[in-house]
Structure 1
Amino acid sequence: MTQGTRYDLLVVGGGINGAGIARDAAGRGLSVLLVEQDDLAAHTSSSSTKLIHGGLRYLEYKEFGLVRKALQERETLLYAAPHIMWPLRFVMPHMPNLRPAWLIRAGLFLYDHLAKRELLPGSRGIDMRRHPAGAPLVDSIKRGFVYSDGWVDDARLVVLNALDATERGATVMTRTKLASAVRAGGEWHAQLESKDDGRRGDARLIDVRAGAIANAAGPWVGQLLSGALGREAQHSVRLVKGSHIVTRRLFEHDHAYIFQNPDKRIIFAIPYEHDYTLIGTTDIEYRGDPAQVAITEDETRYLCESINRYFKRRISPQDVCWTYSGVRPLLEEEGADNPSAVTRDYKLELDAKPGLAPLLSVFGGKITTFRKLAEEATDILTGALAIDAHAWTARVPLPGGDIAQAKFEPFAARFAAEHPWLPAELARRYARSYGTRAARVIGDAKSLADLGRAFAPGLYESELRYLRDNEWAKSAQDVLWRRSKLGLHLEAGTLDTVCADIDRWFVQAPVAAAAPAPGAPRAASPMAG
């Protein structure tokens, strides 16, 4: 990038909304620059419950429009990236003292019929004494319900959107923040502070120009408006902390649970990384720095106690293997005192006047509706810029997602058969993480030795090179906790050593003389299968 480069659109924020907007806009032919102050998905977008869902509990708050929109998007996304997203059946034990059965049946009927379903089976009642999901639960639970939603690797979803954006001509810069931006002559003059080379040292100052700015800074959307952009917002976000805990696997089957708590909160228990159970989430008002959010002892106890109401096997804070917390930037509403009742919908605020470069700010949203949000945002921006370009993302796969008929298992079996020298577990992880691009991670390798140095079980140098050269990974944290969850599987006491080795590699490993250039913008193609 040279000083003074001009773009049609500058997107600020490398979470799911920013990456989605960058992808959509680049695919419509706009020149796009995306900047993120940390790593892609470093904050909220890697700290979700990792569900693609309509939000069954939002029906209680009469959010029918939001639920319908999310349910419509649910199947669109499952088709777009079947390697990092897949259907998941949920079990809801019935507790008569919390919600009557007729109310649950009515809610599930709406959930089944508010949007068309092709991939997902509908809901039904079950006898917990006969269903495998009943075995781990306390004997007092006699009946329940099952319904469908989806699972997503949230951080990889962000990376794949950014990757697709670059392959359609966009430029993505991590470790780069917007320092200031002023309107001048019908465009934005912006100054960036960049440490995008991943090494320590002073930030480079880069001046760029843009026809429009999309403020998709998530929890920082208001700070960016009042600070670097010098504007006042019509809307605001309410920061709500959601924390999760991970324990060793609490059940053997492949269903997830959704539990009703006496405080009307919903808690999920989800199969996670094969050997673990993911439990969450909390909803707590948050007023601190979004970059410093962390679980509290009270939250850990709350989640353990919530699970202990239902499972025969009791857990305590000592059973927790890992925790994570994120700050959800929810759209502020009058009268919503309970954080759980705050809408998960979004508002797109356009600041545009004749002769002035437009500014679009994103308030709220949830991961399931990111594609629709990005589509609506890009519609608004192209209209404000007088660019005639149409929506295209609804039926186009994300990188690696062009799997025939969106059927992952036949693809994974074929990939393993084509690389019989790969251990079965590693072959499946490559297929899951990278889809049809898994062969690019392996390159010309014909044996494990050809993959280079092993930094940890299942993590070889060839994968590090791929992540560095294609997916903006610059540190051990990027690799072990966002591009993968390999950090969770490391033996106790080895994590610090592995992280230090990987960080040294990123500093010392030579970069190829000619890094892969972004592909030329390409026309949207119909989804395979």
Structure 2
Amino acid sequence: MSEAAPQPPYDLAIIGGGVNGCGIARDAAGRGARVVLFEADDLGRGTSSASTKLIHGGLRYLEYYEFRLVREALQERDVLWRIAPHIVWPLRFVLPHRRGMRPAWLLRAGLFLYDHIGGSSLPKTRALDLRRDPAGEPLQRGLVRAFEYSDCWVEDARLVVLNARDAADRGASIHTRTRVTAAERAGGAWRVRAERQGGGAVEVRAKALVDASGAWIGRVTGTQGGTRPVRLVKGSHIVVPQLFTHDRPYIFQNADRRIVFAIPYERDFTLIGTTDIDYAGEPAEAAASPEEIAYLCEAVNAYFARRIGPEDVVWTYAGVRSLYDDGASSAQEATRDYVLDLDETEGVPLLSVFGGKITTYRRLAEAAITRLKDHLPAAGKPAWTGDAPLPGGDFPKEAFEPEVASLRARHPFLDPALARRLVRAYGTRAERILAGARREADLGRVFGSNLTEREVLYLMDQEWAETAQDVLWRRSKLGLRLTPAQAAGLDAFMRTRLPHLAAAE
């Protein structure tokens, strides 16, 4: 019996299923390249699900003269809102002026530049009298003046998954929970070996390799970050019960010249962050330290009338960024711009990705494809990701509420809060979850907080979810609402639907 012919090499192999890796996979697959991506855990499990969840230019980066980065990010803000209006939406941020901090004239000048440098269509800055505006109600009485400006919010982990989903729909092979154990140049290509959680191995050949593993950069390829010095910086966030009832986030200046956000979160909570500290530990073990939690509490206590402490915190999360080390004296000053390092040893390219902001991931992906143009024939095809909606985002960016109304009109049994959550998460693809349902019972078992069996099965089939953690903390934030017993029930249900997990019991 003759042996099977060896598979032709992929055009591109990618290590890392964060926003940068999935963005590059989407872009390359959409241009016709044969792409394979490996993620050691769940998609977005690391830094990409641990952001402040903002699509923004980065107002504070103007102080460090990062004008190109801010301009590019502001331009991308509008692009991402257009292609993903279900998971990206605009917010109006309130920046109170406090005596002894940056002077009001400097804030106003920076905001004027912020309004105009990116050519955005979002509403411009306006001054607020906190004695009359509702934004002043939860603040300390001595604060009387503020500025209000525009930025956007994003469901960061869903942004990662939707890029992976679109990449797969365009032919990419996405391997989650599959750790790359070796990558070496051999026979004019990369030979990449990986091991699946629970057993089993994968080996592929690829003409080019991208290391987008973030804080783990260089570990598999042995490049130690290529020719670029790496700086690991940890950012931590806390979530507390709702501190104010209106829908505008705050951006507070701190005494150490850092800024801290306080953002309405999941209807009943407030998200506070972030810190910026150098990190030397294992990235997967990053967590908010007691010192960081206390720092964030005190930062907002300087502004809100109601004080909070560590005992009020209901959830924390932390992520580690691999930044290009530009020699900045502090972690907060290190550049957030991305750097792409191309090693063409033996004519077999390795592209290592450093830094970047979630806001600019799509531009980073385009730049990565351009850097590989001599090795990736598909790079000669036109850039396309700025015009093509992400899965579920094929409705006008101003039409979110009509989309919710339309879903309820087709499925009148839906609870209004559930309909809104489904559109916010899945956009037009919510219909794939509800197809054929005539009544609530048709959606199957309810695990808690309107999370139904239909939705869970969709996440397992279409979005690579395998555990309750995937569903409750990355595909959604329902982990804030389900009890431990409900979460355990969900995990047990999912295990029965995944043969490799059930076999491991």
In structure 2, stretches of 5+ residues that fail to align are 500-505
Is contact 1:126-1:143 (8 Å) kept? Answer: yes
Q: TM-score, normalised by structure 2?
A: 0.95
CA contact (8 A) 1:51 1:152 kept: yes
Q: d(CA) in 1 for partners of 2:224 and 2:149?
A: 45
| Kept after mapping to 2: 8 A contact 1:279/1:303 | yes
Partner of 2:19: 16
Please give the residue correspondences for 1:91-102 in structure 2 after superposition, counting only pairs within 5 Å. 91-102=94-105
CA shift in 2, pair 1:294/1:3, >3 Å:
farther
Partner SS state of residue 9, structure 2: strand
The AA in structure 1 aligned to 2:258 is: R
Determine the structure 1 residue equivalent to 2:353: 362
Structure 2 letter corresponding to 1:300:
I
Whether the aligned pair in 2 keeps the contact of 1:12 and 1:178 (CA below 8 Å) is yes
Contact conserved, 1:38 with 1:174, CA < 8 A, in 2?
Answer: yes
**What is the aligned counterpart of 2:218 among 203, 217, 222?**
222
How many positions carry a matched residue from both structures? 495
SS in 2 for 1:222: coil
Please provide the CA RMSD for this pair: 1.6
Change (3 A) 1:297 1:409: same
Q: Please list, as runs of the form range in 1=range in 2, the aligned pairs for 1:229-248 lying within 5 A after superposition.
A: 233-248=226-241
- Structure 1 residue 232: deviation in Å? 6.4
Equivalent residue in structure 1 for 2:409, among 401, 404, 417: 417
Aligned-partner Cα distance in 2 for 1:188–1:214: 11
Contact between 2:184 and 2:221, CA under 8 Å: does it hold in 1? no
Residue 318 (1) aligns with residue 311 (2): yes
Equivalent residues in 2 for 1:260-279, closer than 5 Å = 260-279=253-272
> Aligned partners of 2:240, 2:6: CA distance in 1, in Å?
49
Match of 1:286 in 2: 279
Is it true that 1:430 corresponds to 2:422 in the alignment?
Answer: yes
1:173 matched to which residue of 2? 175
Residue 363 of structure 2 aligns with which residue? 372
Q: Which residue of 1 aligns with 2:343?
A: 351
Letter paired with 1:474: E
Q: Taking structure 1 as reference, are residues 284 and 232 closer, same or farther at Cα in structure 2, changes over 3 Å only?
A: closer
Distance 2:219 2:133 in 1: 50
Distance 1:509 1:29 in 2: 33
Query: How far apart in 2 are the matches of 1:510 and 1:128?
Result: 54
Following the alignment from structure 1 to structure 2, what is the Cα–Cα distance between the partners of residues 171 and 454?
32
* SS of residue matched to 1:258: strand
Alpha-carbon distance between aligned partners in 2 of 1:386 and 1:309, rounded to the nearest angstrom: 56
Equivalent residue runs for 1:50-129 within 5 Å: 50-118=53-121, 120-129=122-131
* Residue 3 of structure 1, CA deviation: 7.8
Q: Structure 2: how far apart are the matches of 1:507 and 1:488?
A: 22
- Give the residue type in structure 2 aligned to 1:407: A
Q: 1:381 corresponds to which letter in structure 2?
A: L
Give 4+ residue runs of structure 1 displaced > 3 Å after superposition: 2-5
Q: Retained in 1: the 8 A contact 2:217–2:224? A: no
3-state secondary structure, aligned to 1:219: helix
Aligned to 1:300: 293
Q: Secondary structure at the match of 1:417?
A: helix
TM-score (norm 1): 0.91
- Please say if residues 14 and 25 of structure 2, whose CA atoms lie closer than 8 Å, have aligned partners that are also in contact: yes
What is the CA–CA distance in structure 2 between the aligned matches of 1:468 and 1:218, rounded to whole Å?
25
Which of 399, 409, 415 aligns to 1:407? It is 399
Cα distance, 1:411 vs. partner? 1.1
Q: Secondary structure at the match of 1:404?
A: coil
Percent identity over paired residues: 57
- The 8 Å contact of residues 225 and 233 in structure 1, kept in 2 or not, is answered as no
Residues in 2 aligned to 1:7 and 1:510: alpha-carbon distance in whole angstroms: 28
Q: Which amino acid aligns with 2:16?
A: G
Cα distance in 2, alignment partners of residues 331 and 488 from structure 1: 34
**Aligned mates of 1:292, 1:3 — CA distance in 2:** 39
Residue 443 of structure 1: how far off its partner (Å): 2.3
1:333 corresponds in structure 2 to 326
The 8 Å contact of residues 80 and 395 in structure 1, kept in 2 or not, is answered as yes
Q: Give the match for residue 52 of structure 2.
A: 49
Structure 1 residue runs of 5 or longer lacking an equivalent are 196-200, 512-529
1:198 corresponds to: none
CA distance 1:358–1:510, change in 2 (3 Å): closer
Secondary structure of 1:6's match? coil
Q: Is the 8 A contact 2:82 2:396 kept in 1?
A: no
Q: Which of 141, 155, 158 does residue 157 from structure 2 map onto? A: 155
CA deviation map 1:184-203 (0-9, x unaligned): 222111111112xxxxx3x2
